[in-house]
A and B are shown apart, each in its own frame.
Chain A
């Protein structure tokens, strides 16, 4: 283990390890962050949801956007898999269909960062049990 000889050393180590802890830190208060749910049931996984999730996490990390990416069960849009639900603080959740790696980046860049609309939004047609 490298010795810490100054405050700067400590900060450097903190910056290095913080990323690994972000997942936990953020999930303590997800309401204030961008929450993304990736549908990862059989249908989702079969259509490449796992790759999408990896891509999202990587891109968000790279851009240093505090977000919580979780997986969820089948959202019922099996025809449009892979699907993701994005909820920005203070706005209603939006579901995107047919997401691939490139699309994921586009969502991050346009919708999440700049609040621009992106094609592929699926109108929500059910009440989420958790939002009751």
Chain B
């Protein structure tokens, strides 16, 4: 009989798996068995810890040691040193970038210190493939409470009181949505979980499904109870195989324990869930497009009203919520709406998960109370800008959001404050840019994405975004004019004003917010034909520093287009109109005289 004294939690999220965490898991298990410790030490695969920058992660319980960047071959050292001899493996501990101290306990790491994990409560803590571990953490207690002690209307009221708003980007009050769907009269209704996470860089939904699939299943059942639906559908992208696998296992376990199926908890409530696969179209995150895709139709949005709560999947009333929204629900029921509403800001309650990416030290997944400032997120949790560079901007809300700058850093993040600042919450993507990033290129990067992901149904989005992208390309390649900036502005406003769905209504945001916040940079591109950050290759200029040039003629001899002139032992000169920016001169110069401007 095993009497575990120690648990080793190995991250089994997609990110860590890509760095061989599954092999690491095997090695740890085998080494422990070899040492005869199989009954003393349990090795468990968990969901994502969030600190993906430093994955694969191994956490040792109960002494709460947090190992980072662990390779499969580190397994024996961890077992021999830490487990057998009780000595922590120092080289695998996280190093505080400021003090350069090793930190063993994750609680003392800046990355975790300011976090409050509600939606991610079980990620990196339980084995997602073991329903018992979920139950041990109050799993399915909320469903039991709803079914045995509360009427659907009471649950809805509780949800309303909690102030929970949709985490997929819309920010619509969840309780109100449930209420509206519950009032639609129909024989069949549906609960749909939107797991079609599409923002570039955002992966909170994937992590929740990989790390805590039961929380979504439980919440969907609660929602079904409230709105009167016996069927749930999870629309998940086929590119998330691990999430699909874990979800399937979880559903099967829930069915075996009678937590899905007929007469749940001995009541007359029946509920079961099916999985529907998406092919990864961004626009299918839009709820009407998602529903059409599930119906086997082309994944494109239709006009609202009618809202899905009135006429959704197969024309039946349908409640669509996002994964992260659902993950909050069981906690709200267990701990009460008041507890939840005490967290966050006046109009945005609870926490929000963000995916930190870009030029930031601690890339990963974090969850903070609404109202945390951008500065706290970027500099404390995120550990500041990589390589000690200067912070320039942060793009929130993915391709639909806008970029925020230094002056916005003390904004307390919530749905309304971000919108007021010209960006949005979106699904929680946060991409940080430093001084080396060109804001015109950044806008173009997002437009590349929206052009690719537009469904093509409405003209402003289909053609307009393409034209925006072309104009940005023109500016980046040095052919832009001031008039192009005006056209960009007008076009952006029209696309926002006239597009059918949220994709087109927000796709010009990166353009508008970069024009607003970095107008000088646009002017530099179109008037001075210069890219201040040096990212736009076509706008680079090679120059010769007269102080360093000795007139060796090496550059002139190697220039393939004879753009360099100068007498021997005289300072040389590059003719900008001839230069093709190949960089050969710079490479050949032994005196560091060639520089880029």
Chain A–chain B contact at Cβ < 8 A: yes
Q: Is B256 an interface residue (CB 8 A)?
A: yes
A19-63 interface (Cβ within 8 A of B) = 20-21, 23-28, 30, 39-42, 53-54, 57-58
Helix, strand, loop or mixed for chain A's interface?
helix
Across the interface, do A30 and B62 meet the contact criterion of CB distance under 8 Å?
yes
Across the interface, do A69 and B62 meet the contact criterion of CB distance under 8 Å?
yes
Across the interface, do A4 and B257 meet the contact criterion of CB distance under 8 Å?
yes
What residues of chain B lie closer than 8 Å to A6, measured between beta carbons?
144, 148, 265-266
Residue of B nearest to A19 (CB): B136
Size of interface on B: residues with Cβ below 8 Å to A: 36
Size of interface on A: residues with Cβ below 8 Å to B: 36
Across the interface, do A57 and B3 meet the contact criterion of CB distance under 8 Å?
yes
Most buried by B among A5, A7, A57: A7
Across the interface, do B265 and A17 meet the contact criterion of CB distance under 8 Å?
no
Across the interface, do B62 and A21 meet the contact criterion of CB distance under 8 Å?
no
What residues of chain B lie closer than 8 Å to A4, measured between beta carbons?
140, 257-259, 265
Q: Is A13 an interface residue (CB 8 A)?
A: yes
Q: Is A10 an interface residue (CB 8 A)?
A: yes
What residues of chain A lie closer than 8 Å to B140, measured between beta carbons?
4, 10
Per-residue A-contact encoding for B111-131, CB less than 8 Å = 1, 0 else: 000000000000001100000
Across the interface, do A14 and B86 meet the contact criterion of CB distance under 8 Å?
no
Which among A1, A2, A27, A42 is the interface contact of B61 at CB below 8 angstroms? A27
Q: Is B298 an interface residue (CB 8 A)?
A: no
Across the interface, do B266 and A5 meet the contact criterion of CB distance under 8 Å?
yes
Q: A6-B266, A10-B135 are in contact. Are A23 and B4 (CB under 8 A)?
A: yes
Residue of A nearest to B141 (CB): A10
Q: Is B19 an interface residue (CB 8 A)?
A: no
Across the interface, do B64 and A28 meet the contact criterion of CB distance under 8 Å?
yes
Chain A's nearest CB lies how many Å from the CB of B240?
Answer: 26
Known pairs A70-B63, A72-B63, A73-B86; list 11 more (Cβ under 8 Å). Answer: A3-B256, A4-B259, A6-B144, A7-B145, A7-B265, A13-B132, A14-B135, A17-B132, A21-B133, A27-B61, A41-B86
5 shortest interchain CB distances as A-B pairs: A27-B62, A3-B258, A21-B136, A17-B132, A73-B86
Most buried by B among A1, A21, A26, A39: A21
Pairs A–B under 8 Å by Cβ, sample size 20:
A1-B257, A2-B257, A5-B266, A7-B265, A10-B135, A10-B265, A14-B138, A16-B132, A17-B133, A20-B4, A20-B136, A21-B137, A24-B7, A27-B61, A28-B64, A57-B3, A57-B5, A58-B3, A70-B6, A70-B63
Q: Is A68 an interface residue (CB 8 A)?
A: yes
